[in-house]
Amino acid sequence: MEDLEEGYTVILTSDRATMTDYSGVDFIGFILCLPYRLLPKPLIYKFIAPPIKTDRRGKALIAPYPLRKLEAALISEGFSREEVAIIPPERLHEFVRADTKVIGIHVLDPLGKAPVPYTLRSYFGGGDSCTKLLFLRLIDKLRKLKERFRFKLIAGGPGSWQLKEEYRRYGIDCLVHGEGELLFPELCRKVIEGEDIGGEYDGGSAPVDRIPNILGPSRSSLVQITRGCPRRCAFCNPTMFDFRSIPLENIFREIEVNKRAGFSHIGLVTEDGFAYGAKGIEVNKQAVSTLIRSIKDMEVTAGFCHVSISSILQAPDIVKEYSESFGYDRDNPYLPQIGVETGSPRLIARYMAGKSRPWTPKDWPWMVLEATQIANDNAWYPCYTLIVGLPSEEEEDIIKTLELIDELRDSKCWIFPLLFIPMGRSIMERESWRIMWEIFKEAHWELLTRCLEHNLKFSQEIIDKMMSKIPNPIARKVFERFFKYSISSLWDLLPSFKKNPMKLIKDASRLDVYSEANFLKELIHFAVLRMKEKIIIHR
């Protein structure tokens, strides 16, 4: 601390739900979407979201990709490296000073309203998600620091819509929607010059030539290859931004930054990896193939975070090239996230017709089945998401989805039904929020049951391969026990869920193992129940 005579002018940070490396594997982060009462406190802070390491001046050695982009934007606009720092939340109190003028925070899911946490909170009986808990902990710390040092607090990121119109209650002076590379440095300059910046701003879509390359390694070695989405689904907000492909030379520079930090696997940030280089929705095979070959030549492996059904169907040869180039096979499968959303052509046509292009909405069920076969043949085991509760959804739409799930019963994939969320900055943002138990009918519960059965079966098959990806042996053992215990428990509870799902959800609402005292109490309670079961069976 003594070495830091002056504070940083601009500090960038985020809550622990994003300022962490998830013990080295991104999929662990999805556990933070659960209500925090279902997770022991040590599991959250030591294994799911362990703190990021820093240098002696408090700067994060790796950092969330969006903060790396803002850091680069500030420096490209004339700020010096000595003025700007990405500081993890647990070290903010050590490095904020009187000459700190701005703290910028990246928000992903500040209030637990994103589709996955909102859905899991509903399925497990309510309560705040871990993501909300960790955001509020950050805000509590920042409020205390702000009272003392009087800096301006600027928030932005994919979750900014959750704070719209109520950001001031959290001590936030300025809320930025859209992209921040152009707007954020300008706001920081205004603060330094004494101008008022209070209010909400829209950063829009930054031109590709104004998006700077990151200067330090990113969490999970992320590198962005596209921004926006050309398919224009009504429920989604990334599609509201202009679609852009990042130039190859910029991608290579960012890969080198992460490679120098010791990363050998690159996470490619995109809404559809096979859309790279496309002018519309038609796959540009040459551009994608060039990207794959070039990354392979850099002696790293890579994985897209998202890809689409239509793109897989358009380019099965590129799917094969992708797996062969990066060594994906049955022992090392690739696990992309893909939005199936529904088995109903009617809903596809109404809310997301772009998903099926260049085919038609009526082709959608066939498209999903064919794309799944192509994926599985190349060791791609997708995590499919569905949307239930769309405003005009009818029972026939759910039946169509059930029929599709039945066709997928032998496929290697997960299928997660997510509740419809009127996400801010989407075409459907003005739709009303719909509570699960008010909209679920018998067909919905059947859908949930079939998905649960399918997911448990596939999870048992894939769990050991997933756990092998966790580099830390202690964390690997902890999560192996956690997931296998969870799978076993859910199998045990399945008959009760089929019989009376609402009762089981109500029972789940009373479970709280966050504190050590509650964890021990629930553990003893569970042990007593198991003992009673054994006595009954023995008799």
Q: Supply the pLDDT for residue 525.
A: 54
Q: How far apart are CA 333 and CA 530, in angstroms?
A: 36
Tokens at residue 522, please? Answer: 């629930």
Q: Supply the pLDDT for residue 312.
A: 98
pLDDT exceeds 60 at position 510: yes
Identity (one letter) of the amino acid at 456? L
Rg of the chain on CA atoms, in Å: 23
pLDDT exceeds 60 at position 4: no
Q: How far apart are CA 248 and CA 291, in angstroms?
A: 7
> Looking at residues 351-379, what average pLDDT do you find?
97
Q: Supply the pLDDT for residue 523.
A: 57
Q: Supply the pLDDT for residue 434.
A: 86
pTM of the model: 0.93
> Looking at residues 177-202, what average pLDDT do you find?
96
Q: Supply the pLDDT for residue 1.
A: 42
Spatial strand order of the sheet with 102-106 comes to: 84-86, 10-14, 102-106, 152-156, 174-177, 199-202
Tell me the helices (H) and strands (E) count for the chain, helix number first. Answer: 18, 14
pLDDT exceeds 60 at position 533: no
Tokens at residue 68, please? Answer: 């790396």
Tokens at residue 341, please? Answer: 């959303």
For the chain, percent of residues with pLDDT exceeding 90: 91
Average pLDDT, the chain: 94
Distance of CA 161 to the CA centre of its chain: 16
DSSP alpha helix (H) spans, 309-430: 309-314, 316-326, 345-351, 364-377, 395-407
Q: Supply the pLDDT for residue 202.
A: 95
pLDDT exceeds 90 at position 536: no
Q: Are strands 414-419 and 383-388 parallel, antiparallel or unpaired?
A: parallel
Give which of 267, 263, 256 is closest to 223, Cα–Cα: 267
pLDDT in tens, 203-256: 999 999 999 999 999 999 999 999 999 999 999 988 778 899 999 999 999 999
pLDDT exceeds 80 at position 453: yes
Q: Supply the pLDDT for residue 2.
A: 43
What are φ and ψ of residue 209, in 5° steps? -75, -5
What count of Cα atoms within 13 Å lies in the side-chain half-sphere of residue 349?
A: 8
Q: How far apart are CA 251 and CA 255, in angstroms?
A: 6
Q: Please check whether residue 512 is in contact with residue 520, taking contact to mean a CB–CB distance below 8 angstroms.
A: no
pLDDT exceeds 70 at position 159: yes
Q: Supply the pLDDT for residue 5.
A: 58
* Burial state string for 151-160 with b = 16 or more CB within 10 A and e = fewer than 16: bbbbbbbbbb
The owner of tokens 């300059």 is: 189
Residues whose CB falls within 8 Å of the CB of residue 4, separated by 6 or more in sequence, listed in order: 57, 58, 95, 97
Tell me how long the chain is: 539
Tokens at residue 154, please? Answer: 């600027």
What are φ and ψ of residue 87, in 5° steps? -115, 125
Q: Supply the pLDDT for residue 184.
A: 98
User: CA 187, 190, 192, 198: dihedral to nearest 10 degrees?
Assistant: -70
